[in-house]
A and B are shown apart, each in its own frame.
Chain A
Amino acid sequence: MSPPATETLRKTALHATHRRLGARMVAFGGWEMPVDYSGIIAEHLAVRTAAGLFDVSHMGEIEIRGPHALELVQWVTCNDAARLSEGQAQYSGLMSEQGTFVDDLLVHKISAMHYLLCVNAANQDADFEHICAQNRFGAVVENAGARYTQLALQGPKAQDILARLTRTDLTALRYYRFTFGEVSGVSCLIARTGYTGEDGFELYFAPEHSERVWNDLLDAGQRDGLLPCGLGARNTLRLEAGMCLYGHELDRTTTPWEARLDWICKLDKGDFLGRQSLVAQRQQGLRRVLVGFEMCENRIARDGYPVLAGEHEIGRVTSGSPAPFLKKNIGMAYVPPEYSAAGVELRIGIRGQPAAARVVSLPFYQRPK
């Protein structure tokens, strides 16, 4: 319960709006952000069953432009951006020379000469410097976070709600595609992306219109049970959906193989930063891999708790929490590969008391098709 040092924290354009809505604020990634409004459980369930609206303007944007934009994107990321069509987004990793994560990110192809990267708040400046340092291609790199408000409208009702405020045909917008359109008369990049395991949209637009778009969305969704949601529910939703969070599952020591993100690591796309190390690690084999687990007794694993096999510590919990929709206590951890099969029994050291847990396959939750 230590108070955040508010004077040093950055605030989004909606800061006063969150306060008026009664949000509890916390420090996250250098920003003062809402953790919840009505409670994490209610907000989590709203997203699974109706819809939730998140201010995620702390997320950073980096734009890469020019005739050599693709070359730079391909060099610093591990997924294959050459496979993107205009108006398509892709989950990827920003790699170090060691093939570890400088960040995880979304790459949006606006045109052959223009890519928009959406990166984590706490990493934005380091990412920008890293990309600039690797830019021997002559691409134009802009640290553009201050030019965008980003809202996430997530949940099974998200399309119905957003359709009330836009003429863009949302039914034609497929998953991981984006388009430009107006929401409440405000020009937006409208992307069918998210970090909750539900259908939904992420909107990027100029910060001066933040309050109008936010309020209009809340009004438009009221009859569907739309709730404003904070980072607390964002975290439990992404964990239920088995998604990684930078600083927890991913960091400068973890590789895509260890994080089981093989599907975003394309060794056949040509050379890229970290590729050599990744090839070597793949040949040598892994010493640890990411697993999902659920607690077998009513105890809650938390980030940083030791994972035990017998008396030995074999890893650490990277994320642990109650899962409000599944009504289980779940978590993720890095363990040696021999402990990674579904069904393996582990113990989690919960403040000195080991508690039984079982490896389960990821994701914990998958939305009904």
Chain B
Amino acid sequence: MYPSDYRYTREHEWIKLEGTIGIVGITDYAQRALGDIVYVQLPQLGTKLEASQSFGSVESVKAASDLYCPVAGEVIEVNEALNRAPGMINQDPHGAAWIIKIRVADPSQVQGLMDADAYQAYVAEKEQEAGH
């Protein structure tokens, strides 16, 4: 379910590192919790972000939720396809529906995030709390 070469945040973003480029999206757990996604607010190219800084939002029919950058970096690409088809996030949250690409300031920061097993356990705990 959760790709083993990605790293994960407690706010349910993922990051995949390719050299010094980080691809960022939200997790399957996040898209399920939000329900039908109808709007994504993307940042400007060139925006410099700190770790845990809000860079946009994703909105479902029911609610708006902020997006937080997993590690520090500069936005070098945004997934424009999400403007036309925000529901892609519900279909393919770990793949085609990535949200931004950043030039990561310090790639070693990524290693400090949860790996797939740790995130899986974190989500299982959340679901148990919610009575699932």
Contact = CB atoms under 8 A, between A and B. Distances in A.
Interface residues of A, number: 23
Contacts of A3: 126, 129-131
Contact of B62 (A4, A232, A298): A232
Interface in A203-245: 232, 236
Contacts of A354: none
B55 to A, nearest CB: 13
Interface in A297-348: 298-300, 302, 321-322, 324
Contacts of B129: 3
A5 to B, nearest CB: 9
Interface in B46-89: 57, 59-65
B35 A36 contact: yes
A1 interface: yes
B73 to A, nearest CB: 23
A300 B38 CA distance: 9
Tell me which of B60, B62, B126 has the highest count of chain A C-beta atoms within 10 A of its own C-beta.
B62
A3 B131 CA distance: 8
A351 B126 contact: no
Contacts of B60: 40
Interface string B103-132: 000000000000000000000001001110
A39 interface: yes
Contact of B130 (A4, A232, A298): A4
Given A3-B126, A4-B130, A4-B131, A302 B64 contact: yes
B39 interface: yes
A129 B57 CA distance: 43
Interface in A1-41: 1, 3-4, 6, 24-25, 32, 35-36, 39-41
A3 B125 CA distance: 11
A24 B32 contact: yes
A1 B12 CA distance: 10
Tell me which of B12, B33, B131 has the highest count of chain A C-beta atoms within 10 A of its own C-beta.
B131
A300 B35 contact: no
Interface string A335-369: 00000000000000001000000000000000000
Contacts of A299: 39
Chain B contact residues: helix, strand, loop or mixed: mixed
Nearest to B34: A1
B36 A39 contact: yes
Contacts of A4: 130-131
B97 to A, nearest CB: 16
Tell me which of B30, B32, B35 has the highest count of chain A C-beta atoms within 10 A of its own C-beta.
B35
A158 B16 CA distance: 48
Interface in A262-279: none
Contact of B61 (A32, A40, A298, A351): A40
Given A3-B126, A300-B39, A324 B61 contact: yes
A36 B32 CA distance: 11
Given A4-B131, A324-B61, A41 B126 contact: no
Given A24-B32, A300-B38, A41 B131 contact: no
Interface of A: 1, 3-4, 6, 24-25, 32, 35-36, 39-42, 232, 236, 298-300, 302, 321-322, 324, 351
Given A1-B12, A36-B36, 11 more contacts: A3-B130, A4-B130, A24-B33, A25-B131, A39-B36, A40-B36, A40-B60, A40-B61, A42-B36, A300-B59, A351-B57
9 contacts: A1-B30, A4-B130, A35-B35, A40-B60, A236-B61, A300-B39, A321-B62, A322-B39, A324-B61
* 3 closest residue pairs by CB, A with B: A6-B131, A3-B130, A3-B129
